[in-house]
Amino acid sequence: MLETLQRELIYIWYYFDIQLRQIFVYWILGMVLGSLVSVFAKDKIHKLFASMQGTGIGTVGIFLASGLGILSPLCMYGTIPIAASFYRQGMREDWLAAFMMSSVLLNPQLLMYSTALGTTAMLIRLLSCYVCGVVAGILVNFNKSEKAFFNFKGFSPKESHDTDPNLFLRFLKNLGRNVKATGGYFLVGILLSALFQRYVPSDKFAALFGAHRGFGVLLAATIGVPLYACGGGTIPLLQEWLVSGMSMGSAAAFMITGPATKITNLGALKIVLGAKHFAIYIAYIMAFSLVTGLLINLFL
Protein backbone atom coordinates (compact mmCIF):
# COMPACT_ATOMS: atom_id res chain seq x y z
CA MET A 1 0.00 0.00 0.00
CA LEU A 2 2.75 2.43 0.99
CA GLU A 3 4.83 1.49 -2.04
CA THR A 4 1.84 2.07 -4.32
CA LEU A 5 1.23 5.49 -2.78
CA GLN A 6 4.89 6.44 -3.14
CA ARG A 7 4.88 5.32 -6.77
CA GLU A 8 1.77 7.37 -7.52
CA LEU A 9 3.26 10.44 -5.85
CA ILE A 10 6.40 10.06 -7.96
CA TYR A 11 4.29 9.88 -11.13
CA ILE A 12 2.27 12.95 -10.08
CA TRP A 13 5.43 14.88 -9.24
CA TYR A 14 6.87 13.91 -12.63
CA TYR A 15 3.87 15.34 -14.48
CA PHE A 16 3.75 18.35 -12.15
CA ASP A 17 7.42 19.13 -12.80
CA ILE A 18 7.03 18.88 -16.57
CA GLN A 19 3.98 21.15 -16.57
CA LEU A 20 5.64 23.65 -14.26
CA ARG A 21 8.67 23.91 -16.53
CA GLN A 22 6.43 24.45 -19.56
CA ILE A 23 4.18 27.11 -18.01
CA PHE A 24 6.29 28.90 -15.42
CA VAL A 25 7.96 31.36 -17.79
CA TYR A 26 4.57 32.45 -19.19
CA TRP A 27 3.24 33.00 -15.67
CA ILE A 28 6.24 35.17 -14.80
CA LEU A 29 6.01 37.15 -18.04
CA GLY A 30 2.28 37.61 -17.52
CA MET A 31 2.72 39.00 -14.03
CA VAL A 32 5.54 41.32 -15.14
CA LEU A 33 3.45 42.62 -18.03
CA GLY A 34 0.39 43.04 -15.81
CA SER A 35 2.37 45.01 -13.24
CA LEU A 36 4.02 47.18 -15.91
CA VAL A 37 0.61 48.09 -17.34
CA SER A 38 -0.86 48.69 -13.87
CA VAL A 39 1.95 50.98 -12.77
CA PHE A 40 2.79 52.82 -15.97
CA ALA A 41 -0.24 52.65 -18.29
CA LYS A 42 -3.46 52.04 -16.33
CA ASP A 43 -4.27 55.71 -15.71
CA LYS A 44 -3.46 56.62 -19.31
CA ILE A 45 -5.81 53.91 -20.60
CA HIS A 46 -8.65 55.11 -18.38
CA LYS A 47 -8.02 58.77 -19.25
CA LEU A 48 -8.13 57.83 -22.93
CA PHE A 49 -11.50 56.17 -22.39
CA ALA A 50 -12.79 59.21 -20.50
CA SER A 51 -11.54 61.52 -23.28
CA MET A 52 -13.90 59.79 -25.75
CA GLN A 53 -16.81 61.71 -24.23
CA GLY A 54 -17.98 64.62 -26.31
CA THR A 55 -16.17 63.42 -29.43
CA GLY A 56 -19.38 62.66 -31.32
CA ILE A 57 -18.15 59.27 -32.53
CA GLY A 58 -21.39 57.56 -31.49
CA THR A 59 -21.58 53.79 -31.79
CA VAL A 60 -18.03 53.69 -33.18
CA GLY A 61 -16.98 54.25 -29.58
CA ILE A 62 -18.20 50.71 -28.78
CA PHE A 63 -15.35 49.24 -30.82
CA LEU A 64 -12.78 51.49 -29.14
CA ALA A 65 -14.21 50.84 -25.67
CA SER A 66 -13.96 47.07 -26.07
CA GLY A 67 -10.30 47.35 -27.03
CA LEU A 68 -9.55 49.63 -24.09
CA GLY A 69 -11.31 47.16 -21.78
CA ILE A 70 -8.87 44.43 -22.83
CA LEU A 71 -5.92 46.78 -22.27
CA SER A 72 -7.13 47.65 -18.77
CA PRO A 73 -5.33 45.49 -16.16
CA LEU A 74 -8.11 45.63 -13.56
CA CYS A 75 -10.18 42.68 -12.36
CA MET A 76 -13.96 42.90 -12.10
CA TYR A 77 -13.88 44.47 -8.62
CA GLY A 78 -11.49 47.10 -9.94
CA THR A 79 -13.38 47.66 -13.19
CA ILE A 80 -16.82 48.29 -11.68
CA PRO A 81 -15.78 51.27 -9.48
CA ILE A 82 -13.93 52.80 -12.44
CA ALA A 83 -16.99 52.23 -14.64
CA ALA A 84 -19.15 53.84 -11.93
CA SER A 85 -16.93 56.90 -12.04
CA PHE A 86 -17.22 57.09 -15.84
CA TYR A 87 -20.99 56.66 -15.58
CA ARG A 88 -21.31 59.60 -13.19
CA GLN A 89 -19.36 61.69 -15.68
CA GLY A 90 -21.99 60.93 -18.32
CA MET A 91 -20.35 58.08 -20.21
CA ARG A 92 -22.64 56.29 -22.66
CA GLU A 93 -24.00 52.98 -21.39
CA ASP A 94 -23.21 51.07 -24.58
CA TRP A 95 -19.56 52.17 -24.32
CA LEU A 96 -19.50 51.11 -20.66
CA ALA A 97 -21.03 47.72 -21.53
CA ALA A 98 -18.34 47.05 -24.14
CA PHE A 99 -15.55 48.22 -21.81
CA MET A 100 -16.75 46.18 -18.84
CA MET A 101 -17.50 43.02 -20.84
CA SER A 102 -14.11 42.78 -22.52
CA SER A 103 -12.34 43.81 -19.31
CA VAL A 104 -14.02 40.96 -17.43
CA LEU A 105 -12.95 38.45 -20.07
CA LEU A 106 -9.36 39.46 -20.72
CA ASN A 107 -6.47 41.67 -19.64
CA PRO A 108 -2.82 42.00 -20.71
CA GLN A 109 -1.65 39.60 -18.01
CA LEU A 110 -4.09 36.84 -18.97
CA LEU A 111 -3.31 37.38 -22.65
CA MET A 112 0.37 36.76 -21.94
CA TYR A 113 -0.52 33.62 -19.97
CA SER A 114 -2.54 32.42 -22.96
CA THR A 115 0.50 32.41 -25.25
CA ALA A 116 1.39 29.14 -23.48
CA LEU A 117 -1.56 27.60 -25.37
CA GLY A 118 -0.05 28.48 -28.74
CA THR A 119 -0.46 31.41 -31.10
CA THR A 120 -3.75 30.18 -32.55
CA ALA A 121 -5.44 29.78 -29.16
CA MET A 122 -4.11 33.14 -27.96
CA LEU A 123 -5.40 34.98 -31.04
CA ILE A 124 -8.76 33.23 -30.80
CA ARG A 125 -9.05 34.29 -27.18
CA LEU A 126 -8.13 37.88 -28.03
CA LEU A 127 -10.54 38.15 -30.95
CA SER A 128 -13.47 36.37 -29.28
CA CYS A 129 -13.20 38.47 -26.11
CA TYR A 130 -13.02 41.66 -28.16
CA VAL A 131 -16.06 40.69 -30.25
CA CYS A 132 -17.95 39.68 -27.10
CA GLY A 133 -17.43 43.18 -25.73
CA VAL A 134 -18.46 44.80 -29.01
CA VAL A 135 -21.65 42.74 -29.31
CA ALA A 136 -22.55 43.49 -25.66
CA GLY A 137 -22.21 47.20 -26.37
CA ILE A 138 -24.32 46.96 -29.53
CA LEU A 139 -27.07 45.06 -27.69
CA VAL A 140 -27.18 47.67 -24.92
CA ASN A 141 -27.35 50.38 -27.59
CA PHE A 142 -30.38 48.67 -29.15
CA ASN A 143 -31.99 48.32 -25.72
CA LYS A 144 -32.14 52.06 -25.07
CA SER A 145 -34.85 53.14 -22.66
CA GLU A 146 -35.54 55.86 -20.13
CA LYS A 147 -34.55 53.48 -17.32
CA ALA A 148 -30.80 53.14 -16.74
CA PHE A 149 -29.27 49.81 -17.74
CA PHE A 150 -26.69 49.90 -14.91
CA ASN A 151 -27.03 50.65 -11.21
CA PHE A 152 -23.69 51.84 -9.81
CA LYS A 153 -25.11 53.10 -6.53
CA GLY A 154 -22.66 52.35 -3.72
CA PHE A 155 -19.66 51.86 -5.99
CA SER A 156 -16.86 54.40 -5.96
CA PRO A 157 -13.23 54.29 -7.17
CA LYS A 158 -10.95 52.52 -4.71
CA GLU A 159 -7.78 54.09 -3.45
CA SER A 160 -4.82 52.98 -5.58
CA HIS A 161 -2.09 50.86 -3.98
CA ASP A 162 0.44 52.10 -6.53
CA THR A 163 1.49 55.23 -4.67
CA ASP A 164 5.16 54.73 -3.85
CA PRO A 165 7.10 57.74 -5.21
CA ASN A 166 9.88 55.43 -6.39
CA LEU A 167 8.63 53.93 -9.66
CA PHE A 168 10.80 50.83 -9.37
CA LEU A 169 9.57 50.09 -5.84
CA ARG A 170 6.02 50.78 -6.99
CA PHE A 171 6.46 48.17 -9.71
CA LEU A 172 8.00 45.62 -7.31
CA LYS A 173 5.15 46.06 -4.81
CA ASN A 174 2.58 45.61 -7.56
CA LEU A 175 4.41 42.51 -8.78
CA GLY A 176 4.42 41.12 -5.23
CA ARG A 177 0.66 41.59 -4.97
CA ASN A 178 0.31 39.83 -8.33
CA VAL A 179 2.33 36.85 -7.11
CA LYS A 180 0.29 36.66 -3.92
CA ALA A 181 -3.03 36.88 -5.78
CA THR A 182 -2.30 34.34 -8.52
CA GLY A 183 0.46 32.05 -7.21
CA GLY A 184 -1.78 29.65 -5.32
CA TYR A 185 -4.25 29.25 -8.18
CA PHE A 186 -1.36 28.74 -10.61
CA LEU A 187 0.10 25.87 -8.56
CA VAL A 188 -3.33 24.29 -8.03
CA GLY A 189 -3.91 24.45 -11.78
CA ILE A 190 -0.64 22.64 -12.45
CA LEU A 191 -1.49 20.01 -9.81
CA LEU A 192 -4.91 19.41 -11.40
CA SER A 193 -3.22 19.12 -14.79
CA ALA A 194 -0.76 16.55 -13.37
CA LEU A 195 -3.63 14.54 -11.89
CA PHE A 196 -5.47 14.75 -15.19
CA GLN A 197 -2.42 13.47 -17.09
CA ARG A 198 -2.00 10.59 -14.69
CA TYR A 199 -5.58 9.39 -14.30
CA VAL A 200 -7.66 10.49 -17.31
CA PRO A 201 -7.14 8.46 -20.52
CA SER A 202 -6.46 10.86 -23.37
CA ASP A 203 -8.47 8.80 -25.88
CA LYS A 204 -11.65 9.02 -23.78
CA PHE A 205 -11.14 12.74 -23.28
CA ALA A 206 -10.62 13.23 -27.01
CA ALA A 207 -13.84 11.33 -27.71
CA LEU A 208 -15.73 13.56 -25.28
CA PHE A 209 -14.41 17.00 -26.31
CA GLY A 210 -13.01 16.33 -29.78
CA ALA A 211 -15.00 13.79 -31.75
CA HIS A 212 -18.44 15.11 -30.72
CA ARG A 213 -17.58 18.73 -31.35
CA GLY A 214 -21.04 20.21 -30.81
CA PHE A 215 -21.52 18.43 -27.50
CA GLY A 216 -17.92 19.23 -26.55
CA VAL A 217 -18.54 22.96 -26.96
CA LEU A 218 -21.69 22.76 -24.84
CA LEU A 219 -19.90 20.77 -22.15
CA ALA A 220 -16.89 23.12 -22.11
CA ALA A 221 -19.13 26.17 -21.84
CA THR A 222 -20.99 24.54 -18.96
CA ILE A 223 -17.97 23.40 -16.94
CA GLY A 224 -16.42 26.83 -17.35
CA VAL A 225 -19.05 28.18 -14.94
CA PRO A 226 -18.11 26.21 -11.77
CA LEU A 227 -14.50 25.34 -12.58
CA TYR A 228 -12.99 28.72 -13.42
CA ALA A 229 -11.35 30.45 -10.43
CA CYS A 230 -8.31 32.27 -11.83
CA GLY A 231 -7.11 32.80 -15.39
CA GLY A 232 -3.56 31.73 -14.66
CA GLY A 233 -4.76 28.62 -12.86
CA THR A 234 -6.75 27.36 -15.85
CA ILE A 235 -3.95 27.72 -18.41
CA PRO A 236 -2.18 24.46 -17.37
CA LEU A 237 -5.49 22.61 -17.59
CA LEU A 238 -6.34 24.08 -20.98
CA GLN A 239 -2.90 23.27 -22.31
CA GLU A 240 -3.24 19.62 -21.31
CA TRP A 241 -6.84 19.42 -22.53
CA LEU A 242 -5.87 20.73 -25.97
CA VAL A 243 -3.03 18.19 -26.17
CA SER A 244 -5.44 15.43 -25.13
CA GLY A 245 -7.93 16.20 -27.91
CA MET A 246 -10.13 19.12 -26.86
CA SER A 247 -11.27 21.04 -29.93
CA MET A 248 -10.29 24.69 -30.26
CA GLY A 249 -13.96 25.65 -30.26
CA SER A 250 -14.51 23.92 -26.91
CA ALA A 251 -11.46 25.69 -25.49
CA ALA A 252 -12.79 29.04 -26.73
CA ALA A 253 -16.18 28.41 -25.11
CA PHE A 254 -14.48 27.60 -21.81
CA MET A 255 -12.31 30.74 -22.04
CA ILE A 256 -15.43 32.88 -22.43
CA THR A 257 -17.82 31.41 -19.86
CA GLY A 258 -15.09 30.89 -17.26
CA PRO A 259 -14.08 34.50 -16.50
CA ALA A 260 -17.53 35.87 -17.37
CA THR A 261 -19.25 33.68 -14.75
CA LYS A 262 -16.49 33.46 -12.17
CA ILE A 263 -18.24 33.18 -8.82
CA THR A 264 -16.32 36.11 -7.30
CA ASN A 265 -17.58 38.35 -10.13
CA LEU A 266 -21.25 37.39 -10.17
CA GLY A 267 -22.18 39.04 -6.86
CA ALA A 268 -20.99 42.46 -7.99
CA LEU A 269 -22.55 42.02 -11.43
CA LYS A 270 -25.91 41.09 -9.88
CA ILE A 271 -25.92 44.40 -7.98
CA VAL A 272 -24.84 46.50 -10.97
CA LEU A 273 -27.21 44.87 -13.47
CA GLY A 274 -30.25 44.03 -11.39
CA ALA A 275 -32.13 40.71 -11.58
CA LYS A 276 -33.55 41.10 -15.10
CA HIS A 277 -30.39 42.34 -16.79
CA PHE A 278 -28.30 39.84 -14.83
CA ALA A 279 -30.37 36.98 -16.28
CA ILE A 280 -29.92 38.47 -19.75
CA TYR A 281 -26.17 38.70 -19.12
CA ILE A 282 -25.92 34.99 -18.23
CA ALA A 283 -28.00 34.01 -21.25
CA TYR A 284 -25.86 36.22 -23.51
CA ILE A 285 -22.60 34.70 -22.25
CA MET A 286 -23.79 31.15 -22.74
CA ALA A 287 -25.21 31.88 -26.21
CA PHE A 288 -22.12 33.80 -27.35
CA SER A 289 -19.74 31.11 -26.10
CA LEU A 290 -21.72 28.33 -27.83
CA VAL A 291 -21.96 30.17 -31.15
CA THR A 292 -18.28 31.13 -31.00
CA GLY A 293 -17.18 27.59 -30.21
CA LEU A 294 -19.29 26.07 -32.96
CA LEU A 295 -18.05 28.58 -35.55
CA ILE A 296 -14.43 27.97 -34.61
CA ASN A 297 -14.89 24.20 -34.89
CA LEU A 298 -16.54 24.73 -38.27
CA PHE A 299 -13.50 26.52 -39.71
CA LEU A 300 -10.62 24.92 -37.79
The 10s digit of each residue's pLDDT in 76-89 is 667 888 888 888 88
Which residue would you say has higher pLDDT here, 157 or 130? Answer: 130
pTM for this prediction: 0.90
Q: Which residues contact 203 (CB under 8 A, 6 or more apart)?
A: 245
Cite the DSSP H helix spans in the chain: 2-40, 42-50, 60-71, 76-88, 93-105, 108-114, 119-142, 167-199, 202-206, 213-227, 231-244, 248-260, 263-299
pLDDT given for residue 229 in this prediction: 60
pLDDT given for residue 212 in this prediction: 60
Whole-number percent of the chain with pLDDT over 90? 38
pLDDT given for residue 289 in this prediction: 95
pLDDT given for residue 226 in this prediction: 62
pLDDT given for residue 176 in this prediction: 92
The overall average pLDDT reported for the chain is 86
Q: Could you tell me the pLDDT band of residue 231, with boundaries at 50, 70 and 90?
A: low
Torsion sign across C-alpha atoms 183, 37, 249, 245: negative
Tell me the mean pLDDT in the region 141-168. 79
pLDDT given for residue 235 in this prediction: 87
pLDDT given for residue 282 in this prediction: 93
